[in-house]
Structure 1
Amino acid sequence: MIGLGEAESGIAQRAEADRFLEEVLKGLAAPRKAISPKWLYDARGSALYELICEQPEYYPARTELRILERHAPEIGEAIGPDALVFEYGVGSGRKTQLLLAALERPAAFVPVDIAGEALAAAARQLEARFPGLPVRPVVADFTEPVALPGLDLPCARRLAFFPGSTIGNFDPPEAVGILRRMARDAGPGGGLLLGLDLPKEAGTLERAYDDARGITAAFDLNLLARIDRELDGDFRLSQFRHRSLWDARLSRVEMHLESLQAQVVHVAGAPFTFREGETIHTESAYKWEPRAFDTLAAIAGWQLERAWADDRAWFSVRLYRRAG
């Protein structure tokens, strides 16, 4: 595994801390307060997300996993041998292991994740599971341009892997930008294997993002704890609560942190006023109709090759080829 040296690692960590502060200050100063969901994933946030995936209300993770397990041979055959796989947001790497096991002679794996500790753990597991497979982890924010190492390694095809319906966390224009970047990295003849969560009954969706055990609430509130710890904030978590809301007009679930009273909160010495009931928008999760998403993907340069779904048509795993 190729890692950063101590000096480079320190520079990367300081740059990330600066971006975190900049985005939090900008987001809290906006007329409608919002902070990007990427900042939910520090070490504790990543661990809490893995617990969310185990909750009975959170269907996306297990439904996608079952699709991958059921159709692994077909997916591997459709992708073909000697594929170089790169993944934006690798998480625990469980789905990645399923994919790599289904592929014939995978050429290399390049995982990109903003959570360095979780990425390192996933990379170690993959190296142990697939000895001899070149693994080139990159600690980076994949929403920004990233120079991926190893893309020049010999391979028959480059494949972007983007599971978990993570594409749903982006507004449509942002999603097009991410998909275009993947198309550039995949190159001519490259592929994209993507998980897509589909629309369904509102109660099912809201419960998926607000489980009975309160794991999702702890995950959301951990963002405020991270701000207090890393950015000299004075949020009091007991004065905020987690909420999930289904917006049928935009076809998305929204996660918010709601202030339970009027208050002033400081971050790095800067004051921010909250009204009672005012929220910080922390995540959107778009639920796409397949044809509508295929149109969006086409704008970014992708053409649908194959698709697999569960029996209830709640989730779809879709394979695209770079157009042209």
Structure 2
Amino acid sequence: MGEEHRFEVIRATPDDHLAEFARDVREGLTASPKRLPCRYFYDREGSLLFEAICALPEYYLTRAERAILEAHAEEILARGFGERASDPITLVELGSGSATKTRLLIAALLHRQGALLYVPVDISREMLEESARRLVRDYPGLRVRAIAGDYEDGLEHLASLRGRKLILWLGSNIGNLERAEAIAFLRRVRERMSEADAMLVGIDLRKDRAVVERAYNDARGVTARFNANLLARINRELGGHFDLAAFRHHALYNEAEGRIEMYLVSVRAQRVRIEQLDLEVSFAAGERIHTENSYKYSPEEITAAATAAGLRLLGHWRDPNALFSVNLFGRAP
């Protein structure tokens, strides 16, 4: 079967995604305090910037998670599904991005069972198409059925898949949800899992403030450009007139809450017009737009969240520096 016939991209996002973006921008910039949802980081430009962030020396998360998967991919599969292949496993990934780390599990599954269906879910259709083409080129036994949509679209498709599944949620994407929201989402995944399925979740661990803050305030300013791309996207898609130089990136670690908080800070008093919203937004000097939280977890918090979601911990792996964890869950009785 040719490469073109071994992948498809299904658009789950509604055609009115621009209207949804406009609604969320209006709601967020007229709120007090101002906010913008972090899911809008990931247009094509934002997705490319995030891939650049993952390669930065300060951004330990990607390296640590990759090291865990390199060392333990086969052990993870054996812990979740037994030592020997029986029924084939379908690999589903929520928030797949470029799927670079996922290749370690794809290779291990292909070695185990010879053929594999991979179902990546990502908000960026362009990133999905690019990664799917590369994957089917590099792995002859692989089929890719990509879902261009959000997590909820992925869950909807998950319910329709038959057979055993390994559900991936890597990159500490769980950290972008409030802790109660993360438990609620894990519970929704659990409701769509059978007893034969497993879920693998990458979770950043609580650690020293300086290490965390360096990861989100890199010396090259890539994270700052990633953050500012939210405003650039409003300019591109909604006729905004944001001067990107009039906002600065700010990321701080809230130790009590165990989370990084990211903001765009207005460097002066200003008014910004957004044409398609027929809206003018006022900013005081120093006023912040909240753009993202990234929660960190202790091992005890991971276990507690899983238990509250109706999941049981099948395995827990950390990198040698104990910066990051990869956790395998099964459905609790």
Q: Which residue of 1 aligns with 2:95?
A: 89
Maintained 8 Å contact 2:13/2:150: no
Matched, 1:236 2:237: no
In the alignment, the residues of structure 1 paired with residue 49 and residue 28 of structure 2 have an alpha-carbon distance, to the nearest angstrom, of 23
Which shows bigger deviation, 121-130 or 59-68? 121-130
Alignment partner, residue 73 of structure 1? 74
Does residue 125 of structure 1 match 2:126? no
Q: Deviations over 1:241-264 (max 9, x none)?
A: 001111011100111100001111
| 1:281 paired residue number | 290
SS of 1:292 mapped into structure 2: helix
Please show how residues 100-119 of structure 1 align to structure 2 within 5 Å. Answer: 100-103=106-109, 104-105=112-113, 107-119=116-128
Equivalent residue for 1:187? 194
1:54 aligns to 2:44 (yes or no)? no
Distance 2:78 2:325 in 1: 18
Contact 2:183–2:309 (CA<8 Å) still a contact in 1? yes
What is the Cα deviation at residue 270 of structure 1?
Answer: 1.0
Asked whether the 8 Å contact 2:9–2:128 carries over to 1, the reply is: no
What does 1:16-31 correspond to in 2, within 5 Å?
16-31=17-32
Q: Relative to 1, partners in 2 of residues 1:143 and 1:3: Cα closer, same or farther, differing over 3 Å?
A: closer
1:99 aligns with 2:105: yes
Q: Which moved more, 1:228-237 or 1:105-114?
A: 105-114
2:147 is aligned with 1:174: no
Indicate if the aligned counterparts of 2:155 and 2:192 stay in contact, CA closer than 8 A.
no
Residue number in structure 1 paired with 2:321: 312
Distance 1:35 1:143 in 2: 19
What secondary structure sits across from 1:242 in the alignment? strand
Unaligned runs of 5+ in 1: none
- State whether residues 183 and 322 of structure 1, in contact with CA within 8 Å, keep that contact through their aligned partners in structure 2: yes
Q: How far apart are residue 149 of structure 1 and its match? A: 6.5
Pair 1:145–1:30, CA change in 2 (3 A): farther
Distance in 1 (CA, whole Å) between partners of 2:79 and 2:138 is: 23
Distance 1:124 1:145, change over 3 A: closer
Q: Which amino acid in the other structure matches residue 218 of structure 1?
A: R
Q: Distance in 2 between matches of 1:76 and 1:128?
A: 24
Instruction: Specify the alignment match of 2:157 in structure 1.
Output: 148
Identity %: 41
- 76-85 or 117-126, which moves further after superposition? 76-85
Please state how far the C-alpha of 1:196 moved relative to its aligned partner. 0.8
Change (3 A) 1:149 1:74: closer
Structure 1 CA distance, aligned partners of 2:9 and 2:205?
Answer: 37
Which residue does the alignment assign to 1:301? 310
SS of 2:191's equivalent? helix
- Maintained 8 Å contact 1:245/1:253: yes
- TM-score, structure 1 length as denominator? 0.93
Aligned residue for 2:16, secondary structure, equals helix
User: Once the 2 structures are TM-superposed, how far is the Cα of residue 88 of structure 1 from its aligned partner?
Assistant: 0.7
- What is the CA–CA distance in structure 2 between the aligned matches of 1:145 and 1:160, rounded to whole Å? 10
In the alignment, the residues of structure 1 paired with residue 137 and residue 202 of structure 2 have an alpha-carbon distance, to the nearest angstrom, of 26
Instruction: Let me know the Cα RMSD of the aligned residues.
Output: 1.8
8 Å CA contact 2:263–2:289 kept in 1: the answer is: yes
Q: Is the contact between residue 45 and residue 219 of structure 1 (CA under 8 Å) also seen in structure 2? A: yes
What amino acid sits opposite 2:73 in the alignment?
A
Matches of 1:297 and 1:266, distance apart in 2: 44
1:40 alignment partner in structure 2: 41
Amino acid at match of 2:294: A
Match of 1:212 in 2: 219
5+ residue gaps, structure 2, are 1-6
Deviations 1:109-154 (A, max 9, x none): 111110110011111222223323332101112156752179434x
Amino acid at match of 1:246: Y
Measured after TM superposition, the shift of residue 186 of structure 1 is: 2.6
Normalising by structure 2, report the TM-score: 0.90
User: Following the alignment from structure 1 to structure 2, what is the Cα–Cα distance between the partners of residues 277 and 37?
Assistant: 21
Deviations 1:33-88 (A, max 9, x none): 11111100111111111111111100000111011101122112223342111111
Contact 1:302 1:323 in 2 (8 A): yes
CA distance in structure 1 between the partners assigned to 2:119 and 2:154 by the alignment = 15
